[in-house]
Amino acid sequence: MATTSSSNHGADRSAAVSRIVGDDVYARIKAAKVLMVGAGGIGCELLKNLVLSGFVNVVVVDLDTIEVSNLNRQFLFQRQHVGLPKAQVAADSARRFNPQANIVFHHANIKNKEFSQEWFGQFDLVLNALDNVSARNHVNRMCLAADVPLVESGTAGYLGQVTVIKKGATECFECTPKPPPKQHPVCTIRNTPSLPIHCIVWGKFLFNQLFGLADDENNISPNTADPEAAGDNADAGRQDVDGRDANAELSSADSATNNNVQSLRAWAIEHQYHADETVQKLFVNDVKTLLRMDKLWRERRPPVPLDTLLEQSTDGTNDDGPASSTRLKDQRVWGLKECTDVFRSSLSRLAQRLSEEQAKAAASGSSEAAILSWDKDDDLAMDFVTAAANLRMSVFSIPNMCRFDAKSMAGNIIPAIATTNAIVAGLIVLEAMKILRDQFSICRMTFLARKPNSRMKVLLPTELSKPNPNCHVCAAKPRVTVHVNTNTMTLGQFDEVVLKGRLGMIAPDMMEGNRILLSSEPGETDINNPKALSSLGIVHDTSVFVEDFHQSYELTIRVLHREAFEADAQFVVEGQGSVPPPAAQAPAAPAPTPSADRKRKAEDDSDAPAVVDDDDIVLMDDGSASDHQPAAAHVNKKHRLETPADDEDDIVFE
């Protein structure tokens, strides 16, 4: 039969590659030492492509272990690998293909100190297959410091992007500022939720309060110090969409003064996690407490305690969901009674699990108390959060949502499929080959669209942009201006929230003139942490010099004093936008995460697009998109790189 199989090329497995790329380039491929960061969706495909393209020296770093929800696309992993480190299983699989290949893996965080600038410097090429902005920022800095070319990539659903970053020649990952993560004011979460997301965040916090790491940042009880309800003295803290990031962002921060943090856990233990009593406390008694704060309800619809709702309710389940499927029961909105039942049973089962974990920890002689950690793919935890959030939505007259959508929202889930990852991984290798040929001039940022644009292009390559001379990372002398209230922000907060949280540093040292105010050496400057910036001499228009030795990153920060911020933000970094105000009072207003929003809308009109796609697609389809992107489109696309990411893990949409 007439096939175009290349079987007539003889048995040499590399013959085709060396013939087509040329012997000299093939020799470079074999000699090249490549770092691949991330062994998830893109990483699995990429490692396969590297090994089959002749690369033999590859180091793989990944922090994660394998989960069931990875298996629909991360083909190097199978069911029996669930729980094992991704880096290890991926490296083993690739080695089996080519036993001569020298594939080294590290099951570790790429931000660890062991991965120093010198360590990065050993590579000819770094390939990012990451799923979060924070690690991307870090690798960007390490590659700039070590002057190693970096290929950056991301996917989201059907969309993908690949670009090349080379120190001094192209823009770096941080040349285009990203909007800060969406946050929700604490008081809204605790006292006056108006959107489904407020209740979802509350549900996740409740999980932590009852079973996980309970601290002030995820307090869910009524806040009687709400400035709106009482005086105007309480400093309302703020919470990230994602509980974990909220912790990182806040740590020592303030805040809401009436701490009954210990008390909820203590209360639960005292009541042995009794289901009915917990329902009574959270959805009746606490609601009555809120109702007594009558100032809150002057211009808002007051909440209704659950017992009243249940009395009024005719219940029956909501008939609006797609009822046809028996399998996807999670796409049906539960009724009030059903929510209560799921809440009660998942609470009891989680309490049971907690006590088992504690018993195990005690048996192994561990001094630390066992806790449960929230995970969107832990179905019991997800049941609990869905039920808790929906009960709260009912109490606050917010339309309920199904478990499937609650999961999108709670987990900031970005859809991910094998096909997009395969295409993007292939494009990464094509760019890597150009770099090895020293052909930076033909390297491109390539964008994968969902459908052909008006010029019938699905792949949209654009020339790489020049570095942004004002970039706060890759400029010759990086500078940035930060507005803070120097009288209320402590050095410790500045360290956590501004330097590490927003500016992406790992271990900053900060100096004002010759005075060392903050040291990355443990303990050296701890005494300064609780002090306000102004008391340390950082007042309006003070410039401080910050250095992160690990990242070889130096930054001059001009501090400007500002009394108050919009939407109770704590600070503003100039040029990076302010923290967006909390969404207004639309009960069915958009979910804050594009993916969640997409699904939620899909309930209303099944063809709803992913919001994350919208802007980009519109621009791509604007016929001008080809080799010369208009600047606006370019900025927009650059922004896209931050959001899409396989895989899904806890991406905070920025």
Active-site positions read 187
The entry of Zn ion, another protein, none that residue 472 binds, CB within 5 to 8 Å by partner kind: none
Q: What is the distance between the alpha carbons of residues 59 and 346, in angstroms, rounded to a whole number?
A: 42
Q: What is the distance between the alpha carbons of residues 21 and 429, in angstroms, rounded to a whole number?
A: 12
User: Where on the phi/psi map is residue 62: left (φ > 0), alpha (ψ -120 to 50), or beta?
Assistant: beta
Q: What is the distance between the alpha carbons of residues 527 and 525, in angstroms, rounded to a whole number?
A: 5
The entry of another protein, Zn ion, none that residue 548 binds, CB within 5 to 8 Å by partner kind: none
The entry of another protein, Zn ion, none that residue 506 binds, CB within 5 to 8 Å by partner kind: none
* Residue 175 in contact with Zn ion, rule: CB under 5 A: yes
Of residues 208-227, those binding another protein (CB under 8 A)? none
Q: How far is the CB of 257 from Zn ion (least distance, A)?
A: 41
Q: Token pair of 203, please?
A: 């549900």
* Residue 302 in contact with another protein, rule: CB under 8 A: no
Of residues 21-60, those binding another protein (CB under 8 A)? 45, 48-49, 51-53
For residue 638, the one-letter residue type is: K
* Residue 640 in contact with another protein, rule: CB under 8 A: no
Q: Token pair of 442, please?
A: 């033909």
CB 553 within 8 A of CB 547: yes
Q: How far is the CB of 503 from another protein (least distance, A)?
A: 31
* Residue 480 in contact with Zn ion, rule: CB under 5 A: no
Q: Which is nearer to another protein, 297 or 549 (CB)?
A: 297
Binds Zn ion by CB under 5 A, chosen from 130, 410, 471, 573 = 471
Binds another protein by CB under 8 A, chosen from 121, 168, 316, 322 = 322
Q: Which is nearer to another protein, 10 or 623 (CB)?
A: 10
- DSSP letter string over 411-469? HT-----HHHHHHHHHHHHHHHHHHHTT-GGG-EEEEE-SS--TTS-SEEEEEPPPPPT
Q: What is the distance between the alpha carbons of residues 157 and 651, in angstroms, rounded to a whole number?
A: 14
Phi and psi at residue 330, to the nearest 5°: -75, 0
Q: Is 73 annotated as contributing to ligand binding?
A: yes
Exposure string of 628-651, with b = 16+ CB inside 10 Å and e = fewer, is ebeeebbebbbbbbbbbbbbbbbb
Q: What is the distance between the alpha carbons of residues 279 and 273, in angstroms, rounded to a whole number?
A: 10
* Residue 327 in contact with another protein, rule: CB under 8 A: yes
Q: What is the distance between the alpha carbons of residues 197 and 217, in angstroms, rounded to a whole number?
A: 17
The entry of Zn ion, another protein, none that residue 72 binds, CB within 5 to 8 Å by partner kind: another protein
SS3 category, 639: helix
- Binding region for Zn ion (CB under 5 A) out of 172-180, 289-297, 448-456, 502-510: 172-180
Three-state SS letters, 200-225: HHHHHHHHHHHCCCCCHHHCCCCCCC
* Residue 567 in contact with another protein, rule: CB under 8 A: no
* Residue 279 in contact with Zn ion, rule: CB under 5 A: no
Binds another protein by CB under 8 A, chosen from 15, 31, 269, 632 = 15
Q: Is 140 annotated as contributing to ligand binding?
A: no
- Binding region for another protein (CB under 8 A) out of 25-33, 109-117, 548-556, 581-589: 581-589
- The position carrying tokens 């500016």 is 503
The entry of another protein, Zn ion, none that residue 535 binds, CB within 5 to 8 Å by partner kind: none
DSSP 490: B
The entry of another protein, Zn ion, none that residue 574 binds, CB within 5 to 8 Å by partner kind: none
Q: Which is nearer to Zn ion, 195 or 473 (CB)?
A: 473
The entry of another protein, Zn ion, none that residue 429 binds, CB within 5 to 8 Å by partner kind: another protein
Q: How far is the CB of 302 from another protein (least distance, A)?
A: 11
Of residues 171-210, those binding another protein (CB under 8 A)? 194
Specify the DSSP element, H or E, that contains 510: strand 508-512
Q: Which is nearer to another protein, 451 or 515 (CB)?
A: 451
Residues of each annotated binding site for Zn(2+): 172, 175, 471, 474
Residues of each annotated binding site: 38-43, 62, 70-73, 86, 131-136, 172, 175, 471, 474
Residues of each annotated binding site for ATP: 38-43, 62, 70-73, 86, 131-136
